[in-house]
Amino acid sequence: MVIGGYSPSDKKGRPFASLLLGAFESKRLVYRGRVGTGFDDDTMQDLARLFEARARKTSPFEKVPDSIAGSAHYVTPNLVAEIAFAEFTSDGFVRHAVFKGLREDKEARQVVVE
């Protein structure tokens, strides 16, 4: 999945609560859900540094649910994350997602739902 932003955390020392994920359909980045597990402290800090360098004011997604969009922080969508998940919901969002790591072998534009 492509990382297009994150939801902030209200816990001290935790730079984010979850990552906002998407996949490309044609040339549009379509929101596919969030992942909030699978991070250790070092990974969270590394990701926070990457996000700081990629911060942007506007959403890279075609559309984000209003309940998430209001507090979301967006990043340039050029980081690809390996995500394990159980299935897609009927709305097309990942269910029971777990972050496994960043993928450097794949360009963000190559990420599509198979």
Q: What CATH number does residue 68 fall under?
A: 2.40.50.140
In a domain, 67, yes or no: yes
In a domain, 112, yes or no: no
Does residue 114 have a pLDDT over 80? no
The four Cα atoms 98, 2, 62, 76 give a dihedral, to 10 degrees, of 120
* Amino acid sitting at position 6: Y
What pLDDT is recorded for position 92? 92
Domain membership of residue 6 as a residue range: 2-107
In a domain, 50, yes or no: yes
Cα distances (angstroms) measured from residue 100 to each of 31, 40, 108: 19, 11, 16
In a domain, 35, yes or no: yes
pTM of the model: 0.94
Do 92 and 5 form a contact (C-beta atoms < 8 A)? no
In a domain, 11, yes or no: yes
3-state DSSP assignment of residue 23? strand
CB atoms within 10 A of CB 110: 12
> What's the pLDDT tens digit per position in 22-80?
999 988 999 999 999 999 999 999 999 999 999 999 999 999 999 999 999 999 999 99
Structural domains counted in the chain: 1
In a domain, 113, yes or no: no
> What's the pLDDT tens digit per position in 51-67?
999 999 999 999 999 99
In a domain, 68, yes or no: yes
